[in-house]
Amino acid sequence: MDPRPVGVFDSGVGGLTVLHECLVTMPHEDFVYLGDHARLPYGPRPLAEIRRFAREIGGYLEAQDVKLVLVACNAATSAALPQLQEELEVAVVGVITPEAHAAVQATRNRRIGLLATQATVEAGRYAELVRTLDAGAELVPVACPRLVPLIESDDPFAAETTGAVREYAAPLKEAGVDTVILGCTHYPLIRPIFQRVFGRGVTLVFSAEETAREVAETLARKRLENDESREGAYRFLTTGDPGAFRSLGERFLQLPLGDVEHVAVADLVTA
């Protein structure tokens, strides 16, 4: 048995939707989650800058003696997953491959839509994975820069959010997609709006469950599991304001956060 925690990171609180599924799937494991609130949002930033941030956080978490790193951020996964897997001694899992696989399995007409941040769309990682899994499938990507701020607002279900979703959904409907990847960890919080806009004929893919399953399978394959008879613990770190992280984070995690520790960006750079 390996009692070391699993390290999870995101630009902010969106990755807590993935952590929630990990806590349900692996209740006996410990987790440490780092939200890089001081430097969010990642979505509009250049890929090289996001890659640098991800490498800093990956190195910091490895120095915290985690046994696996989960990149619970679509932009960071798109920009840096291969580099993290090459540079870190521990296993690294991202959120994109499970989603691409689920979408290819779900589509009936082989036309798949992607809603994501600008950085995730520009990286083209989803298109590569979909093409690898099914060379005949078509991916229609749409960048959604307005959605994350709206989802983090005091009223994420306001009419403005629905209007933005309708705007971003329009080219996907025109393209006739039957499956849409929600390619940002924030988007599940407004899933009812997506379902209303697209209707029952379109399958929405957000693979937090598949990602959690991949983490569990990786731990089992490498014999890094913790004792299944225990109840795991979790703790939270942020480069931003701990109070703000806690109040917003509980909406995403749907569980109490408890204490949130502050980590200086300089400490990440040093790591």
- Neighbouring C-beta atoms of residue 82, cutoff 10 Å: 12
Contact by Cβ (8 Å): 185, 15: yes
Provide the strand spans (E) within 11-73: 31-35, 68-71
Question: In whole angstroms, what is the distance from residue 150 CA to residue 44 CA?
Answer: 15
Catalytic residue chosen out of the listed positions 79, 142, 184, 189: 184
Determine whether 22 is an active site residue. Answer: no
For residue 106, what are its two tokens? 């779900």
For residue 86, what are its two tokens? 């090459």
Catalytic residue chosen out of the listed positions 6, 40, 47, 73: 73
Contact by Cβ (8 Å): 16, 95: no
Contact by Cβ (8 Å): 6, 209: no
Judged by DSSP in three states, 9 sits in: strand
Residue whose pair of structure tokens reads 């009692």 in the numeric block: 3
Contact by Cβ (8 Å): 261, 242: yes
Provide the strand spans (E) within 44-110: 68-71, 91-94
Question: In whole angstroms, what is the distance from residue 206 CA to residue 202 CA?
Answer: 13
Contact by Cβ (8 Å): 225, 1: yes
Beta bridge partners of 242: none
**Catalytic residue positions, numbered:** 73, 184
